[in-house]
């Protein structure tokens, strides 16, 4: 019998680092990415194209991208919040350089949070994202979309499932490679995750894959990942060591840890395509760079 499998999107270099108070040097970021490739990550969110005054950790985005290993088996993702970001992503591919392969777009499922995060209401975010997908495609870049704060907003509280599904329906019309739901502030529970992803699956009707992105603020992140798997999700964002957090979401903590996700899936008979021992070694190596132990429970137990 063929084992079921998942796909990891390693978000450590972007989402994992963006909230770090001390700037991580460009060579250290590149070494981290090389370690991620070594342990099996083949889709990596390497940077975001945002104003350095808002997210100083990403000020070297173009320098990081210029130094990426030129590998045909690896997809490099750059987060873009508007058309200007897409233009910066396109520019990384000029003069024969490898550059970014795929842009990541974000729509926040809350007007208040969306305005704080990227200056857009939901309606404005939908319109901007649809235009970004078309623009990226015309320039040879693929695009994926994340619906952020899909399980709750730090300012408005509960987010209605109808709101999330309506956003997904509008975005699906543009044909992104996948649509993700993100629990940006870590309020989701397994029951809600399975319910909402099941509904999203029915809405998409198999037209495109679903992806999930969980934060572990309340300790439910890895359980939520399992609930998403049960609902048909096979693409999972995770961050080495459980690093992460959104600068614009008060008290939000890190992503689910790559090692924890891999351990759970591998022990459940599901192939993650990641070498757990190498991921643990990468965790410990990077912990020395930032001067503290990383949150991953599996690495602490190893």
Most distant CA pair in the chain: distance in Å? Answer: 52
Q: Nearest Cα to 223, choosing from 186, 252, 196, 254? A: 186
CA distance to 26, 48, 125, 135, 137, per residue, from 84 (Å): 23, 12, 14, 11, 15
Burial 140-150 (b: 16+ CB within 10 A, else e): ebbbbbbbbbb
Is 246 assigned a catalytic role?
Answer: yes
Q: Nearest Cα to 44, choosing from 2, 74, 81? A: 74
Alpha carbon distance 11, 215 (integer Å): 12
Given a contact cutoff of 8 angstroms between Cβ atoms, the answer to whether 236 and 200 are in contact is: no
**Catalytic one among 105, 153, 212, 246?**
246
Question: Following DSSP, what letter does each residue of 40-92 receive, concatenated?
Answer: T--EEEEEEE--TTT-GGGTTHHHHHHTS---TT-EEEEEESSHHHHHHHHHT
Sign, Cα dihedral of 116, 118, 124, 129: negative
CA distance to 108, 119, 166, per residue, from 254 (Å): 18, 23, 28
Catalytic residues: 246
């Amino acid at each position: 019998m063929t084992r079921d499998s998942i796909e990891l999107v390693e978000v450590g270099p972007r989402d994992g680092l963006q909230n770090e108070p001390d700037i991580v040097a460009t060579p250290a970021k590149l070494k981290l990415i090389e370690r991620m490739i070594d342990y099996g990550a083949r889709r990596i969110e390497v940077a975001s194209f945002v104003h350095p005054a808002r997210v100083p950790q990403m000020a070297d985005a173009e320098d990081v991208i210029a130094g990426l290993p030129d590998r045909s088996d690896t997809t490099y993702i750059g987060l873009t919040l508007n058309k200007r970001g897409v233009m910066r992503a396109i520019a990384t591919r000029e003069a024969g350089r490898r550059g970014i392969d795929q842009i990541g777009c974000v729509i926040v499922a809350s007007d208040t949070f969306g305005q704080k995060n990227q200056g857009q209401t939901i309606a404005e975010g939908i319109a901007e994202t649809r235009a970004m997908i078309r623009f990226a495609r015309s320039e040879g870049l693929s695009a994926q979309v994340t619906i952020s704060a899909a399980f709750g907003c730090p300012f408005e509280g509960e987010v209605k499932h109808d709101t999330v599904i309506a956003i997904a329906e509008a975005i699906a019309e543009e044909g992104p490679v996948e649509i993700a739901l993100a629990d940006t502030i870590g309020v989701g529970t397994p029951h809600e995750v399975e319910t909402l992803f099941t509904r999203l699956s029915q809405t998409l009707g198999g037209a495109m894959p679903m992806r999930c992105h969980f934060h572990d603020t309340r300790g439910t992140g890895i359980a939520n990942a399992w609930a998403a798997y049960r609902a048909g999700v096979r693409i999972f964002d995770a961050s080495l060591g459980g690093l992460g957090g959104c600068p614009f979401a008060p008290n939000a903590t890190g992503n689910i840890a790559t090692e924890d996700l891999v351990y759970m899936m591998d022990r459940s008979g599901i192939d993650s395509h990641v070498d757990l021992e190498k991921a643990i070694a990468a965790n410990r190596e990077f912990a020395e760079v930032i001067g503290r132990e990383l949150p991953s429970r599996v690495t602490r137990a190893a």
